[in-house]
Amino acid sequence: MSVAFPASHGRSRAFVKMHGLRNHFVIFDRRDDPRGFAVPDIVRICDTHTGVGGDQLLTIEKPSVTGAYAAMRIFNIDGREVSACGNATRCVAHLLMEESGRRDILLETGGGLLACRRAGAMQVSVELGPIGTDWRALPVAQEVDMLHLPMESGPLRDGAGFWIGNPHVVFFVERLAETDLSRFAPAIQNHPLFPEGVNVGAAELVDPRTIRLAVWERPGMLTQACGTGACVAAFAARLKGLSKTNRFTVHLPAGPLEIELVGDMAVMTGPVAYCCRGTVECEGA
Ligand SMILES: N[C@H](CCC[C@H](N)C(=O)O)C(=O)O
């Protein structure tokens, strides 16, 4: 089945909107469309009041590496391009597997070439990693112990930092329900040690294979789910010696993701869904 993007005319551009655990995305196919998106367009399209509404805008592009079925570019709601998004990867992989009739594809992203495969009618698995533990990868402005970051904000203490295509820090807390992330995470996200900012997770280890997680994403918002954050929380639990298992269920505000750790890779499995499709007006770039 081919994915029916509506026809684009003039300034109107066809989109498909999808969500992965309510982390929602406005997706455009640029494989045969040279027009880019200006920052004000991205901001307006992602805003529910002026556009479609989404946590990120995604574009599907022609791949530049052999073996990749397509490439995906990812833009935050402030128009800044970022290099990874786990939930978006599942959504776009699903769309492209429907288009091609394939059960697995390689998707090129700024954060690497990602192996994606069907795990159910509306379930997709993605291999994310290798997860970087070097301070230079995040990046951090100076050498620090990445498993014990030298900063704190309220209940957020003794965090760990990782690169999984994008930068994350995760803090284990006693009780997530009592952790006001929107109050304490901005000081971490904007800490001078993180010249490119960072996605900030608060995780509660419920039992050795169950984590509750909330993520304050760049550029400064709580999302209903964060796939890369879930992988990093599971990886951090193991590296910090809090758990010895390889298989975790990570419960995000909108529901669970299954994470399997294989060496320094994380295989994330979770749902995808279509929201709507249509056209939106753009100035273009
Ligand atoms: N929600 C996404 C992560 C987006 C991260 C992005 N906000 C950044 O600035 O790196 C996920 O499912 O992995």
pLDDT at 183: 98
Q: Which of 56, 72, 228, 235 to mutate to test the pocket of ligand 1 (most atoms within 8 A of CB)?
A: 228
Equal fold, 12-128+271-281 vs 160-263: yes
Task: Give residue for tokens 């594809």.
Answer: 105
Report ipTM for this prediction. 0.98
Beta strands in 208-254 (DSSP E): 210-217, 221-222, 247-252
Question: What is the CATH code of the structural domain delimited by 160-263?
Answer: 3.10.310.10
Q: 59 alpha carbon to ligand 1 midpoint, in Å?
A: 15
pLDDT at 3: 60
C-alpha dist (Å) from residue 211 to 40, 56, 95, 258 = 37, 25, 29, 10
Helices (H), the chain: 39-46, 86-100, 181-189, 227-239
pLDDT at 285: 59
Catalytic residue, chosen from 46, 91, 226, 282, is: 226
Chunked into runs of 10 residues, the chain (285 residues) has average pLDDT values of 66 95 98 93 96 98 97 98 98 98 98 97 98 95 97 98 98 97 98 97 98 98 98 98 97 98 98 97 76
Q: Which of 19, 85, 87, 188 to mutate to test the pocket of ligand 1 (most atoms within 8 A of CB)?
A: 85
User: Residues with Cβ < 8 Å from 150, sequence gap 6 or more?
Assistant: 144, 193
**Residue positions forming the annotated binding site for substrate:** 23, 56, 76, 86-87, 166, 199, 217-218, 227-228
CATH superfamily to which 12-128+271-281 belongs = Diaminopimelate Epimerase; Chain A, domain 1 (3.10.310.10)
Q: Are 169 and 188 in contact (CB under 8 A)?
A: yes
Report the amino acid identity of residue 117. Answer: R
Q: Are 139 and 167 in contact (CB under 8 A)?
A: yes
Q: Sign of dihedral through CA atoms 230, 233, 238, 243? A: negative
pLDDT at 284: 67
Q: Are 205 and 216 in contact (CB under 8 A)?
A: no
85 is catalytic: yes
- Listed by start position, the domains of the chain span 12-128+271-281, 160-263
Q: Which contacts (CB < 8 Å, 24+ apart) does range 205-208 have?
A: 205/172, 205/237, 205/242, 205/243, 206/251, 208/242, 208/243, 208/244, 208/245
Distance CA 227, CA 124 (A): 12
* Ligand 1 atom showing the smallest separation from residue 217 Cα: 7
Entry pTM: 0.96
Ligand 1 site residues (CB inside 6 A) read: 23, 76, 82, 85-87, 166, 199, 217-218, 223, 226-228
